[in-house]
Structure 1
Amino acid sequence: MIRRPRSASRRRRIGISGAALAVLLAGTAACGPFGSDEDEAAAGGKPTFTVAAAGDILIHPQLTEQARKDAKATGKGEKGLDFGPMMAGVRPVISKADLAICHFEPVAGRPEGPFESFPAFRVPPQIATTIKDIGYDTCSTASNHTLDHGVGGVVNTLNVLDAAGLKHTGSARSAAEAAKPLIMNVKGVKVAQIAYAFGFNGNEIPKDKPWLANEIDLDRIAAAEKRARAAGAEVVILSIHWGRENQPNPSRSQLRLGRQIAERTGINLVIGHHAHVVQPMEKVDGTWIAYGLGNEVARHDVPTGLTEEGVIGWFEFTRAGGDWDVRARYVPTFTEIPPDPDEAGKLPEGAVEDHRLIDVAAALREDRGLTAQQRARYRLAFERTEGTMLNRGAADDGLAPLESLPE
C-alpha cells in the first residue's frame, strides 16, 4: 500500500501559540484522561480502540536491589524479587488501554541469577511478571541488546515472556515463529505488531539463523507489513529501535526513515526506542511517529536528568471509511532515583529512599505527601517533556497530554 500525499493543512508546521496550546489542554482536561461516553458516541458506532506504548525497560543492578528490598517489605514476588512496587505508578494508565505495548530491551536470565549489566545485559526474569501484572499485553524484543547472549539468550527471553503471558515480536526461536505475524484481536479489530532494531552492538546474526532477530531495512519492514495484511491485519504498528542515545532531537536518519515508512508503507503507527531520553512525536504524511519514548524504567550509572524522564504514548484509533484515524496523546513519566548514601551509609535528609516510576500529572494531582523538591522536579519533567513532544509542530495535529498539569 502506498500512501497518497495529505493536504497542505495536515503537513508539519513548527511552533504553536500559547492560546492554541491552552485550548488543547482545556479540551483534554474536559473529557478526562481516558475519554468519556461522549467520545464513544462521537465515534458514531465506528470501531475504536486505544493503544498505550512506553519506553525502554532496562533493568540495571540498582533496580534489582530495589526489587529485593521491596520483596522483603511486601512478602511477594518470586525468588526474593518484587518489581511491582517500583512500577505500580503507571498501572492506572497502562491497564486502561485496550492494547498495551512494552519495549523489553535486555536479555532475561534465570530467576536466581547470575545477572549482568552493561554492556551485555542479563536481567531477572521476574520483571516479566510485573510487566504483565501492570497491564501490558505485548512487548517488542528487537534492540541493540537482543543478541547480548547469543541464541540461548534469545530463546530464554522469549520463553520468559511466554511464561508471563506476554506476546512478543522482533526476535524468534525458529524460522516458523519469525514468519508468523503477531496479530492480536483488540475489541474485534485485528492488530499486528512488528519490531526492528538498527543493529546488535557488533553481534552478528548467525548466517544459519537469519530469522533470530529483525534488523532495520525498509524493504524488510514493508514486506513484514504486507505479510501481516495478508494474514488479516487491519492495523499494523511498528516498534523500532533507532537513533542516537541521549539526544532529544531525532537524527537525520530517523527523520529520513520515518518519512519513507510513512510514504511507502501502510503502517498505521510508529513507536520509537533506544535514545533513553524523550524525543518528539510528529505526524508525517498522515502517520504518527513517536521518535523516542525515553525510558520506562532504567537506572543508568550516571543519570543525566533526562534519562529519568519518559513518556507513555496514548493513541486512540477510530475507523474512518477504509482507513484509520489516530488521535495521539501522551503521559509524562519520571523515575525517582535515591541519591548515593554518605560514608556512614545514610541518605541526605528528605531524600527519596526508593526507585519509583511516577505518572507525573497523577502524582501532582494526588499530592500524597510530596515535598516541595518533588513538586518542582515533577513539574520540570512534565514541562520539559511537553516542550520536546511539541517541538516538531505536533500540536497542530492535535497532540496534547492525556492529563494536563495541575494548577
Structure 2
Amino acid sequence: MTRHPHLPGIPRAVALALLAATAAGCGLLDTDDDAEVSGPPAFTVAAAGDILIHPQLTDQARKDAKDAGGKGIDFDRTMAGIKPVISKADLGICHFEPVVGKPEGPFQSFPDFLIPPQITTTIKNVGYDTCSTASNHSLDHGPAGVRRTLDALDAAGLKHTGSARNRAESEKPLILDVKGVKVAQLSYTLGFNGREVPADKPWLANKTSFDDIAAAEKAARTAGAEVVILSIHWGREHHPEPGTPQLKLARRLAEDTGIDLVIGHHAHVVQPMEKIDGTWVAYGLGNQLARHDVPTGLTEEGIIGWFEFRKKDGGWDVQARYVPTLVTIPPDPGETAEAAEAGKDPDGGGETPGVKDHRLLNVAEALRDDKDLSDEERARYRLAFERTQGTMLNRGASKDGLKPLQDLPG
C-alpha cells in the first residue's frame, strides 16, 4: 500500500522534493520505500478524525473546480496539504462520518447529513486505504443511505467497516495486507442520534458494546489477523478531556482484549493520547475536515495519528507520533459585506485575517514552507500546534515517548 505523493497542480519532482524536506529530521517519515528492509516485520499507520462535509466546504469544492477550468465538485485542493503524510504511511485510515447523496445533490447539513460522493475520490487521492463508517450519523438516511455510502467508497477504491449492506458483509472481518502483515480494522459507535438499528437489519451498523468488540476481535484473529485496530466513535462533543465512560472502556479494551491500537473520534476537538497496559489509545483525533456553522477555534484543529508497528518478542511494539492539522476558514461573505458597510476591516469576520479559502493544513509544514504567511496566520498556526501539543500530553503520554512527528519550526 506504499504510495509516492503527488499533489494536484504541483510537478512530481517538486512534490517529491517537498516530501524529502518534510521527512528531514522527523524520523519516522525518513524511509526509503523501495529499499529492501531487513529485520522484523514493521509498518506504519496514519489515522485521522472526522470527515464531515458542511455546505461551505462543498461551495469551496465547486469554486476550486471552476478555478481549475472545470465544473462540478472537487475537494482535492482542500485536502492536498495532508497528502505528503497520509500517502507515506503503509496504511491510511480515515473516519467517514456522514451519508453520501447523489453527485449533483441535493445535499443536506446538520442534523441529517447528505454530502457529495466526490469527497470519496479525494480521500483515496490523498492516500487513505480504508475508512471506518460507524458513527452517530450512519443511519441519517436509513438502509438506502448506508448502501449508497458504501457503494461510493467501493467506487473510489476504499475499504470500509462499521456499517454493512447485508449480514454476510457485516460478519466478514475487514483484513488488509500491509507489507505482508494481516491487519484487521474494527469500527463501532456510541449510538445513532436517537435512531435504532432496524430489528430486521441488526447488521446495518455497529453500536458499541464491549462484548461485541471483544467478539469481533476474536473473529478477526480466527480469520488470520495478526494486528487488530479499533476505530471507535465515542465521547462528549466539544470536550477536549475524555469522559469517564471513555476512560473506563479504554482501560477495559486495553486490559481485557488483544486489540493493538484504539483510535477515537466524535468529539470534533482533539483529545489526548494515552498508553494503557502497553496499548496506545487516541481518545479523539479531532476533525480531519469539517466546517461547523459556528467555528470555535478548537473544531478547526485536529491531528493525524502516526503509529509505527514493529514485531518484537512475539508481540508488537508501537511507537506513537502525531501531526497537528488545521482547517483554515475564510470570512463569511455575509459577514464581509456587513463589515464593509460598517467601515470595519473586511477580514474581521473570518477565522484568520487574510485567509481566502478553506484548506486542510499540516501545521508544521505550513509554518516552515509558506513564506507569505501574514503575522496573524503564523500566530494562529502556532497556537494550533502548541494547543494540540498540550492536549496530547496531558495524560502523561510523554513518558511513553509521544511527540510530534515534525517539530514546530523555530
Question: TM (normalized to structure 1)?
Answer: 0.89
Specify whether residues 267 and 33 from structure 1 end up closer, same or farther in structure 2 by C-alpha distance, changes over 3 A only: closer
Deviation at 1:339, TM superposition (A): 1.7
The residue identity in structure 1 corresponding to 2:98 is P
Q: CA deviation at 1:322?
A: 1.3
In structure 1, the partner of 2:146 is 154
Q: 1:370-389 to 2 correspondence within 5 Å?
A: 370-389=373-392
- How far residue 353 of structure 1 moved from its aligned partner, in angstroms, is 1.1
DSSP 3-state at the match of 1:279: strand
Q: Look up the match of 1:357.
A: 360
Is 1:261 paired with 2:253?
A: yes
SS at match of 1:310: strand
In 2, Cα distance between the equivalents of 1:398 and 1:44? 24
Q: Distance in 1 between matches of 2:399 and 2:276?
A: 12
Rounded to whole Å, the distance in 1 between the matches of 2:245 and 2:347 is 43
Q: In the alignment, residue 318 of structure 1 is paired with which amino acid?
A: R
- Provide the secondary structure at the position in 2 that maps to 1:161: helix
- Whether the 8 Å contact between 1:60 and 1:300 is mirrored in structure 2 is yes
For residues 339 and 147 of structure 2, the distance between their equivalents in structure 1, rounded to whole angstroms, comes to: 40
Task: Tell me how large the CA RMSD over aligned residues is.
Answer: 1.7
> How many Å separate the matches in 2 of 1:121 and 1:335?
20
Listed as ranges, the gaps of 5+ residues in structure 2 are: 1-22, 341-345
Of 183, 198, 204, which aligns to 1:212? 204
Partner SS, residue 45 of structure 1: coil
Residue in 2 that maps onto 1:311: 303
Aligned to 1:122: 114
Q: Secondary structure at the match of 2:284?
A: coil
Matched ranges for 1:7-406 at <5 A: 30-32=25-27, 34-36=29-31, 45-76=39-70, 80-341=72-333, 342-343=336-337, 347-348=346-347, 351-406=354-409
Shift of 1:203: 1.1
Structure 1's 72 and 29: CA in aligned 2 closer, same or farther, altered over 3 A?
Answer: closer
Provide runs of 4+ in structure 1 moved above 3 Å.
28-33, 344-347
Confirm or deny: 8 A CA contact 2:354 2:374 kept in the other structure. Answer: no
Number of equivalences: 375
In the other structure, the counterpart of 2:5 is none
Which residue does the alignment assign to 1:21? none
Q: What are the Cα deviations for residues 230-261 of structure 1, in whole angstroms up to 9, with x where unaligned?
A: 00000000000000000000000000000000
| Separation (CA, whole Å) in 2 of partners of 1:151 and 1:289 | 31
Q: How big is the shift at 1:343?
A: 2.4
In 2, Cα distance between the equivalents of 1:48 and 1:83? Answer: 32
- The separation in 1 between residues aligned to 2:69 and 2:257, in whole angstroms, is 49
CA contact (8 A) 2:237 2:266 kept: yes
CA contact (8 A) 1:142 1:196 kept: yes
How many angstroms apart in 2 are the aligned matches of 1:222 and 1:75?
51
Asked whether the equivalents of residues 312 and 330 of structure 1 are also in contact (C-alpha less than 8 Å), the reply is yes
Q: Check whether the contact 1:33–1:403 (CA below 8 A) recurs between aligned residues.
A: no
Task: Check conservation: 1:136, 1:166, Cα contact below 8 A.
Answer: yes
Which secondary structure does the structure 1 equivalent of 2:330 belong to? Answer: coil
**Residue equivalent to 1:15:** none
1: CA distance between counterparts of 2:45 and 2:162? 19
- Structure 1 residue 29: Cα displacement: 7.1
Q: CA separation in 2, counterparts of 1:134 and 1:30?
A: 23
Give the drift of 1:32: 3.7
Q: Secondary structure at the match of 2:271?
A: coil
- Per mean C-alpha deviation after superposition, the further-off stretch among 336-345 and 243-252 is 336-345
How many Å separate the matches in 1 of 2:259 and 2:158? 23
Cα contact 2:26–2:406 (8 A) shared by 1: no
In structure 1, give the amino acid aligned to 2:398. Answer: A
Q: Which amino acid aligns with 1:278?
A: V
CA–CA distance in 1 between the matches of 2:357 and 2:383?
A: 20
Query: Match of 2:337, SS?
Result: coil
Q: Which has the higher contact order (CA 8 A, sep 6+)?
A: 1
Shift of 1:136: 0.3
Q: Distance in 1 between matches of 2:249 and 2:210?
A: 8
Q: Distance in 2 between matches of 1:311 and 1:31?
A: 16
Equivalent position SS for 1:290: strand
Question: Hey, what's the Cα distance between the residues in 1 that align with 2:38 and 2:114?
Answer: 48
Q: Deviations over 1:38-68 (max 9, x none)?
A: xx99x96100000000010000000000000
- Name the CA distance, whole Å, in 2 between partners of 1:378 and 1:343: 26
Q: Secondary structure at the match of 2:281?
A: strand
Check whether the contact 1:29–1:404 (CA below 8 A) recurs between aligned residues: no
- Residue 173 of structure 2 contacts residue 223 of structure 2 at CA under 8 Å; is this kept in 1? yes
Equivalents in 1 of 2:361, 2:26: separation in Å? 22
CA contact (8 A) 2:26 2:405 kept: no
1:345 to partner: Cα distance: 9.0
